Structure 1
Amino acid sequence: MPPQLPWLETEDLFPAPATAWGPDDPAPGLLAAGGSLDVLRLRAAYAQGTFPWYGPGQPILWWAPDPRMVLPVSEFRLHRSLRKTLQAFRTQDHCEIRLDHAFKEVITACATKEREGQAGTWIVPEMVEAYTRLHAAGYAHSVETWIHGELVGGLYCVALGRAVFGESMFAHATDASKIALSALVALCRHHGVSMIDCQQNTGHLAFLGGREIARTEFLAHVERARNEPPLTWAFDPVYWNALLPTLAPKA
């Protein structure tokens, strides 16, 4: 029988991540339910490596999985096809990366994208509104792929200091989400961010260099990184040189 799941009232503190359900329980990594999605609550959750994830009709569910999927930015796999895509994108005037230009549009597109083998979305309307408030408070950010003045792909993430937590991506054009992720990796390399949280293991992330680490290791990283000076959320095209060092800058 699984341990009783803590129910959070509005002012309750989160349980320690180590108390999350284990591999033999029905939902490994599940930490608590209830509470709210206000800015202070979300900031406190991410500060201890916890995130909300739930579906329509469910209460707010909080997770702290072990192991944790992360993307070490030094291990990002720039496969040949993606390298060619980035080289072309980097050198064309009608292609650009924008940060925090259209956050609401990005998270809405992530919420409405079709997911293979999954009905519906975990980015329910309450989550969209909550992360939009978190963005307004300076803790949630979007990385956007623009072509010919149109938003064609992107991702959104949470950042506390230099602790970066990836959330979701979308693409309306081939490789548009991979371009945005590559830009985030380039930004992180420039600012000395060592890893991007990916929350849960997927084959797509593993293909790009993501891997699992122990929760204790992840939490130690968050503890250090969240207290470092925050990133400057602006993208300079020179950042591409962190991924494509042999590519001449665009004039």
Structure 2
Amino acid sequence: SFKSTFASSYSQDTRNDASYSHDSKSSSSYSHDTKSSRRSRSKRPSAGTWVRVGVGEEAKITAAASKPELLHRMEGFLVKELSVVDREWKDTPGGAPMNAILEVYQQCLALFMSHFPTYAPILSTIVKYYDTVIEKTYGKPDNTHASSELYKLETSNAHMAHQLATAEEQCRQFLETIQQQTQCHEELQDRIILLRDKLSQVEAEKAELQRKAVAVVEALQETERRLQEREMELRKQNLDHDLWREDVAEMARL
């Protein structure tokens, strides 16, 4: 039944929010306040404020100079829970279904009835009648909470799948980068080995050229030495020839 279902939802909320227990303790004083407020209703201001209470809906809530604590709690509950519904169904075309919004208002009504047990039977009968009419008119409402949880689960799974695909793509790119770096490293190693071989070859050629240059220098020095010796021999021969000519000339005069 509606009363047992949403009363349990409200009891869970009251266990999570200590302020609701304070409201239940002060319910008797609130009854007294409501009686006195009815007697002094003519003194209450007629001003009103517009507050957003659902998807595409607005309701005008009469603002008094000092609202009862329960009214503050109910308004805060509606704003909080309807914003949660809006966030849960924001990616759904058409927004949140009416069943999800209706569930929030039913919980709010259960909150009100829990503070006024005297009115709970008649209000429960009214709610039950409305539920029967809605069920006959639109069909039996589905489990909105389960549908919401299923939608959130599917959304979470899709988000996780997207994150997994992104991580796999990043991992694949990282592996490709590692492979490219490894290939570049191997190519650099091969080039280093090739350059070292060329350097060794150049050094060997340089040593050979230096050896040949030394040999050429030594050969030139040897040639120069021989030329100098030959020149000295020729000079000596020329000197001997001159002396011989002088001797011949002297003998001829004699």
> Greater RCO between the two (CA within 8 Å, min separation 6)?
1
Mark the structure with the bigger radius of gyration.
2
More strand per residue: 1
Does TM-score exceed 0.5, indicating one fold? no
More helix per residue: 2
The TM tier, using the shorter chain, reads under 0.3
TM-score calculated relative to the size of structure 1: 0.23
